[in-house]
Amino acid sequence: MKTSQTLFNQTKLKATQARLEVTDILLKNPRPLSHQEILKKLPQNFDRVTLYRNLNWLLKNGLIHRISGEDRARYFEINHQFIQSNEKYRSSRKIAPDNHLHAHFNCQNCGKFFCLDDIHPKFKLELPPKFIFDTIELTVKGKCSRCQ
């Protein structure tokens, strides 16, 4: 398991204690986590606004993804392009965007997200004129195994 320090070293992005702590948590977790879930895993005194700001910074710099849950909370997941970053990325300041085209499952009861890594839908993407594409989000909704 790579540490977040190792990964930051492969980029020109500046690491701070808070960024490393937050990124480490996302690296260790196989599913997207909410702000609340992340905060619980951080040291007791970690400020919640600092966490919001760090998540926004990580998002802006492409190290993580953000998805919106049915429960109005946002869930954060490591950008797997970042984990696999190599020479190609070390030379640039920004992390390359993860096309992120695997699906997620969102439990309508507990709100948790789960990665459905094997689901990669295929379709022709034609947008209306002058619409600009950024990303795709495919979410399957229902109840997770613990919530029936």
Closest CA to 79 of 27, 28, 38: 27
Piece in contact with its own copies (CB under 8 A), picked from 26-34, 49-57, 86-94, 113-121:
113-121
Residue 115, classed as helix, strand or coil, is strand
Residue type present at position 139: T
Among 115, 123, 127, 133, which residue sits at the site for Mn ion (rule: CB under 5 A)?
A: 115
Q: Which listed residue (31, 41, 74, 80) binds DNA by CB under 7 A?
A: 74
Contact set for Zn ion, span 91-130 (CB under 5 A): 107, 109-110
| Residue 100: partners with Cβ closer than 8 Å, 6 or more residues away | 65, 79, 135, 136, 137
Distance CA(96)–CA(33), nearest Å, equals: 22
The piece of 62-70, 76-84, 98-106, 137-145 that touches Zn ion (CB under 5 A) is 137-145
Q: List residues binding DNA (CB under 7 A).
A: 14, 16-19, 34-36, 45-50, 52-54, 56-57, 71-74
Q: List residues binding Mn ion (CB under 5 A).
A: 77, 115
